[in-house]
Amino acid sequence: MIEFIRAGGWLMIPIILSSVIAMAIIIERFLSLRLGKVIPVSDIQRARELAASGNVTDVHLAELNNGSVVGSVLATGLSNRAAPRHVLKESVEEAGRHAVHKLERYLNALGTIAAITPLMGLLGTVLGMITAFSKITQVGVGDPASVAGGISQALFTTAAGIFVAIVAMIFHRYFKGKVDNYVIGMEQEAVKLIELVNQNNAGTPRPAPRSASPSAASAASKASAAIAAARKKQQAAATGGRS
């Protein structure tokens, strides 16, 4: 391995650093994107129970928010359960965008490594060929050993860069697909929670309208009597005019 690195030249150093960073991101994402940490069944069931009972406290919301990624989205919906449907939906969508950003953490860096390591290998190829042709101009083509160093540098850096890029690209696509599946699952659970909250809000009895006060009732009756008396006078006047 040491000879491989030496043969590749100084460009092997950034390629190796890129590979170390890529492996760290891959391990971290494997641990963070487990199903039990993103969409655990226990948090979903807990959120449904709280929505059905209507007994939601700040302690329940804090536990649900800190439990998992989907728990934070559902906790936002429960905290806005008394709001209208469109407000509740907007709050859940905003929480979902934050959750997606959390799930996609470091994936841009992994994609960048997958894109730049072949370019670093290509740069090593160019530098190696420049070295080889420089040796040819100095000693001619009669000494192949002097040219082999530059060619080997070109081949080693190209192979290392392509290898790191292949591994990084595979896991980048894998994690992106996993995040997309998680997002769809969270959207489905959020929609179910919104419907459950709306059903509970629709089933909550509304307070009965207040009855009119006695003073208001008496005033209304007096007004009705005055209107009736005025109509009788108009009818009597019309009858007298005809006779």
- Residues 124 and 156: beta-carbon distance below 8 Å: yes
Q: How confident is the model at residue 197 (pLDDT cuts 50, 70, 90)?
A: confident
Q: Which residue has the tokens 């089933």?
A: 203
Residue 17 resides in a domain: yes
Residue 127 resides in a domain: yes
d(CA 214, CA 140): 118
The pLDDT score that the predictor gives to residue 230 is 61
Cα-based distances in Å from 205 to 31, 150, 191, 194, 208: 47, 84, 24, 19, 9
**Secondary structure of residue 10 in the 3-state scheme:** coil
Which tens digit of pLDDT belongs to each residue from 119-147? Answer: 998 888 888 777 777 766 766 655 566 56
Residues 6+ apart with CB under 8 A from 3: none
The pLDDT score that the predictor gives to residue 20 is 96
Cα angle at 192 between 96 and 88, to 5 degrees?
Answer: 55
Residue 234 resides in a domain: no
- Residues 188 and 48: beta-carbon distance below 8 Å: no
Question: How many structural domains comprise the chain?
Answer: 1
- Model pTM? 0.72
Q: Which domain holds residue 88?
A: 2-203
Per-residue burial over 35-71, b = 16 or more CB atoms within 10 Å of its CB, e = otherwise: eeebbbeebbebbeebbeeeebeeebbeebbebbbbb
Residue 237 resides in a domain: no
Q: Which two tokens stand for residue 105?
A: 């953490």
Q: Which residue has the tokens 């329940």?
A: 60
Write the DSSP assignment of 77-143 as a string of letters: HHHTTTS-HHHHHHHHHHHHHHHHHHHTTTHHHHHHHHHHHHHHHHHHHHHHHHHHHHHHHHH-TT-
The pLDDT score that the predictor gives to residue 157 is 86
First CA to last CA across the chain, in angstroms? 129
Mean pLDDT of the chain: 80
Residue 188 resides in a domain: yes
Q: How confident is the model at residue 216 (pLDDT cuts 50, 70, 90)?
A: very low
Residue 228 resides in a domain: no
Residue 78 resides in a domain: yes
Residue 240 resides in a domain: no
